[in-house]
Each structure stands twice: as C-alpha cells, then as structure tokens.
C-alpha cells in the first residue's frame, strides 16, 4: 500500500501522466456504476450466481453495455467515426460530424475563462468562491448594455464585453476591499455574494427594463445582433462554436504571461506561496488582495457575458443556476489544472467533453447524465486523494511518534 502511494506520489511530479491515469481510473469507476445500475447487466451476473454457469455471457453483456456507453460519450463529445467516414466519402453531413466537437468547445469557452479567474486567486493564496455570482452580474450588466444601445458592431461588441467585465469587477471588488481593509474572510463574503447575485438576477429580469417587453416571465431582452459573438462558421452552419473561443484562447495566453512573466503576477505568486516573506519583501498585501479580486472578478464577468453573447443571446432565471453554474465548476477545474492557465484549459476541455458526451450517452443508451458527473468528480478525487491519503498516513505516524515533534529543537 505504501509503495503504491509512493509510486502515485511520483506520478504527481508529472501532472500530465497523473491526470491521464486519473481519467482512466475515473472511467473504471464509471464502469462499475454502469454494472450496478443497468438492469440487463445485473441480470446477467445474477444468473451466473444462481446457476453456477460460466461468467462468459455476463462478461460479454457487461462489456457491451459499458462499451456502448463510453462509445456514445466519445462520439457525442469529440467525433463519431462513422459519420466522419460518411462525410469524408460523400462530402456531405459535415455539420453533423463536427457538432460534438463544436459543442465541447462551446461549453469549454466560458468555463476556461472563469476557471482562470479562480486559479489566479488560488495562486495568490486567496479563495474566490463567488465566481458564479460575479459571472451572473457580468451577464446582467452585459445584457443591459448589449440589448439596449444602437451602435455599430465594432463599438457595441467590445462595449458589451467590457460591461460584463465591469459587472464582474464590481462584484469581485467588494470582497476584495472588505478583505484588504477589514480582514473579512473572502470565502464567506464571496460565497454570500452568490446569493446576492442570484436574487439580483431575478430582480433584474422581473422588475427592470431589462425584462423582455410584453413578457411576464423572467426572461431578458435579447442582445442586439451587433453585440453577439457570432458562430465561427456563420449563423447558418448550425455549429454553435463562436468567436468566444478566441477570447478564451487569448485569456489563456494573457494569464500565462501575467502569472509567469509580469511583475505583478510575480508578486501574486510570492504572496500566495509565503505571505510573511511577501510582506517583509515590500509587497503590499492589500494591493495584491484587491488586484487579485479585481482580475478574478473581471474574468468571471467576462465568462458570464461570453456565455450570453456566444450561446444563449439572452438570460433567464436559470442563467448559471444549478448544474449550469460554471463559476462553481470553475473551482474544480482550477484545482484540476493546478491553478495554471494551460492546465486549466485542458481541465475545462475535459469537463466540457464529459458533460457534452454524457448528454449524448443519455440520449442514445438511456444511461443517465449523472454518470458523467460521477466520472468528472471521481477524476478530481483521484487527483486529489494521494495527497489526502498521505496526509492521513503521516498523521498516524505522528501520533505514534508521540512527543517526537515537540521534542525536536533547533538541533534536529
């Protein structure tokens, strides 16, 4: 067991290998979930037990079902080989062939942006649990601008995005300022601001001019055509992947430069790695806290408005609520990517693929979407667990050692 742990710990040195391994293990977990929840598979195994027959049939049934589920997931999230073959041969049906990939990229776009925002606070040693609220407010303000102003695209488009960023910045600034000047814990404040944002959304949709005229429901006006992030292959292509993809890619590059190459990013990382040394070295902790929340909030706001301008074009009462809450998923994705922009990008793609593929699997095989969620979080657990388990082992060793720690002085 210990040797296994050490080996695993060694894997941890190579994040790519570790993640690949965790994905495989996540799929194995998913396999067992399928076995225990799919009636034909269970029946096949029960008959093995009852009649003492060979397990051949049961094994085959299992592999059939698991294989079908995962094939559906892959085909739905990335590409279906059979339609690809068809398209290659006939030149037809490219929309259908490319839809899975387009959907995955569409989902990954705002998720990447929001996750990088969360990752920047993590790198600074701060927790932004309120990215979802910041994204919601970003969406509201962005829609307010983008649905009402009559301006040419070249002005309205950036203005709408900036409005979304501003919404996120304002929402992120409050916990940042409170933390910097009063010491209020940012986890509590950001968490609570999610509720403020949710209720602000309902208020904006029901009681302000933002509501779709002539509507009693909680639906906003639609963005003006000039405010939309149009689909990459044209509105008639049927593929939803849009120009937001390039915004996300730019954010990945910018965030990488910021953290790895800029002076402020260096100060962020120093503060995150050792706040005491940061202070002694002349880094102003207030400045770093406030800036980190401004940047993180701004990115969350951008994620919110990118989602609206690229995909939904309007917001309703279900905007970023529940499983659509990319601001919450962003926390997980950021951890999955070890808070680094490039890692986060891959994490967001993986999460998007599993979500999109899960929906396709549900449609073709009837296995519920929840399986995809189980796999998502099993992967996260497998990545996080080695540290956890090791910690438990170490604690046990410590209590066995008794006074050992206390008795170690300067000359250890």
Partner 1 sequence: MRVELRGITKRFGTFTANDQISLTVEPGQIHCLLGENGAGKSTLMNVLFGLLRPDEGQILIDGEPVTFANSGEAVRRGIGMVHQHFMLVPVFSVAENVVLGFEPTKSFNRLDRLRARESIHEASQRFGLEVDPDAIVEELPVGIQQRVEILKALNHDAQLLILDEPTAVLTPQEIDALIGIMRSLKDAGKSILFISHKLREVREVSDVITVIRQGRVVGTAEPTDSETQLASLMVGRDVSLTVTKEAHEAGASRLEIRDLVVRDDRGVAVVDGVSLDVRAGEIVALAGVQGNGQTELVEALAGVRPVESGTITLDGRDITNATPREILDAGLGHVPEDRQRDGLVLSMSVADNLVLNTPRATPYARRGSRRRSEVRRNAEERIRDFDIRTESPEAPVSSLSGGNQQKVILARELSRPLKVLVAAQPTRGLDVGSIEYVHRQIVETRNAGQGVVIISSELDEVLALGDRVAVMHHGKIMGVVAPSTSRETIGLLMAGVVLEEVAGA
**Where does this chain bind partner 1 (CB under 8 A)?**
261-264, 266-267, 269-270, 273-274, 276-284, 401-404, 406-412
* Residue 403: CB minimum distance to partner 1, A: 6
Phi then psi for 411, rounded to 5 degrees?
A: -100, 45
Grouping H, G, I as helix, E, B as strand and the rest as coil, residue 316 is: strand
C-alpha to C-alpha distance for 152 and 134, rounded to whole angstroms: 27
In the bound state with partner 1, the residue whose beta carbon lies nearer, of 154 and 280, is 280
* Residue 288: CB minimum distance to partner 1, A: 12
In the bound state with partner 1, the residue whose beta carbon lies nearer, of 268 and 319, is 268
Instruction: Write out the two tokens for 358.
Output: 């899960």
In the bound state with partner 1, the residue whose beta carbon lies nearer, of 310 and 341, is 341
Residues 6+ apart with CB under 8 A from 344: 112, 115, 116, 119, 252, 333, 334, 336, 337
CB of 337 within 8 A of CB of 347?
yes
Grouping H, G, I as helix, E, B as strand and the rest as coil, residue 150 is: coil
* Residue 396: CB minimum distance to partner 1, A: 15
* Residue 290: CB minimum distance to partner 1, A: 15
- For tokens 């396999």, name the residue: 31
* Residue 262: CB minimum distance to partner 1, A: 6
- Shortest CA distance to 305 belongs to which of 162, 405, 196, 178? 162
* Residue 263: CB minimum distance to partner 1, A: 5
C-alpha to C-alpha distance for 216 and 198, rounded to whole angstroms: 19
* CA distances (Å), origin 275, targets 87, 188, 201, 272: 57, 20, 36, 6
* Residue 298: CB minimum distance to partner 1, A: 17
In the bound state with partner 1, the residue whose beta carbon lies nearer, of 221 and 269, is 269
Sequential DSSP letters for 362-394: HHHH---THHHHHHHHHHHHHHHHHHHHHHHHH
In the bound state with partner 1, the residue whose beta carbon lies nearer, of 52 and 410, is 410
- For tokens 């710990």, name the residue: 9
In the bound state with partner 1, the residue whose beta carbon lies nearer, of 150 and 276, is 276
In the bound state with partner 1, the residue whose beta carbon lies nearer, of 224 and 269, is 269
In the bound state with partner 1, the residue whose beta carbon lies nearer, of 20 and 250, is 250
* Residue 278: CB minimum distance to partner 1, A: 8
In the bound state with partner 1, the residue whose beta carbon lies nearer, of 204 and 255, is 255
Sequential DSSP letters for 198-259: HHHHHHHHHHSTTBPTT--SSBBPPPPGGGS--BTT-TTS----BTHHHHHHHHHHHHHHHH
* Residue 283: CB minimum distance to partner 1, A: 8
* Residue 285: CB minimum distance to partner 1, A: 10
C-alpha to C-alpha distance for 185 and 174, rounded to whole angstroms: 12
Residues 6+ apart with CB under 8 A from 308: 139, 142, 143, 146, 164, 223, 314, 315, 319
In the bound state with partner 1, the residue whose beta carbon lies nearer, of 251 and 326, is 251
């Amino acid at each position: 067991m210990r040797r296994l742990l050490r080996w695993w710990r060694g894997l941890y040195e190579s994040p790519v290998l570790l993640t690949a391994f965790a994905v495989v293990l996540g799929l194995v977990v998913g396999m067992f979930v399928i076995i225990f929840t799919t009636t034909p598979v269970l029946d096949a195994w029960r008959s093995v037990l009852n009649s003492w027959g060979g397990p051949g049939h049961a094994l085959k049934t299992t592999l059939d079902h698991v294989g079908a589920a995962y094939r559906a997931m892959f085909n739905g999230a990335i590409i279906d080989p059979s339609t690809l073959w068809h398209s290659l041969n006939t030149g037809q049906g490219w929309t259908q062939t490319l839809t899975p990939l387009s959907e995955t990229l569409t989902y990954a776009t705002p998720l990447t942006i929001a996750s990088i925002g969360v990752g920047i606070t993590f790198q600074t040693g701060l927790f932004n649990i309120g990215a979802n609220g910041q994204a919601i407010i970003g969406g509201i303000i962005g829609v307010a601008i983008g649905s009402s102003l009559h301006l040419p695209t070249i002005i309205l488009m950036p203005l709408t995005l900036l409005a979304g960023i501003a919404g996120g910045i304002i929402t992120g600034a409050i916990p940042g300022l409170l933390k910097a000047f009063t010491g209020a814990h940012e986890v509590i404040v950001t968490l609570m601001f999610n509720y403020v944002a949710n209720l602000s959304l309902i208020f904006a949709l029901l009681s302000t001019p933002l509501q779709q005229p002539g509507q009693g429901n909680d639906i906003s006006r639609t963005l003006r055509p000039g405010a939309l992030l149009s689909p990459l292959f044209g509105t008639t292509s049927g593929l939803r992947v849009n120009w937001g993809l390039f915004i996300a890619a730019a954010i990945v590059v910018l965030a990488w430069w910021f953290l790895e190459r800029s002076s402020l990013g260096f100060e962020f990382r120093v503060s995150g790695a050792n706040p005491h040394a940061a202070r002694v070295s002349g880094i102003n902790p207030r400045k770093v806290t406030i800036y980190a929340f401004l940047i993180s909030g701004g990115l969350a706001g951008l994620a919110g408005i990118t989602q609206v301008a690229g995909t939904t074009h309007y917001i309703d009462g279900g905007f970023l609520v529940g499983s659509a809450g990319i601001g919450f998923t962003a926390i997980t994705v950021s951890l999955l990517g070890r808070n680094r922009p490039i890692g986060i990008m891959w994490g967001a793609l993986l999460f998007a693929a599993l979500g999109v593929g899960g929906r396709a699997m549900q449609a073709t095989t009837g296995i519920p979407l929840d399986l995809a969620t189980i796999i998502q979080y099993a992967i996260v657990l497998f990545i996080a667990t080695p540290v956890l388990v090791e910690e438990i082992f170490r604690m046990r060793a410590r209590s066995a050692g008794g006074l050992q720690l206390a008795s170690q002085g300067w000359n250890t």
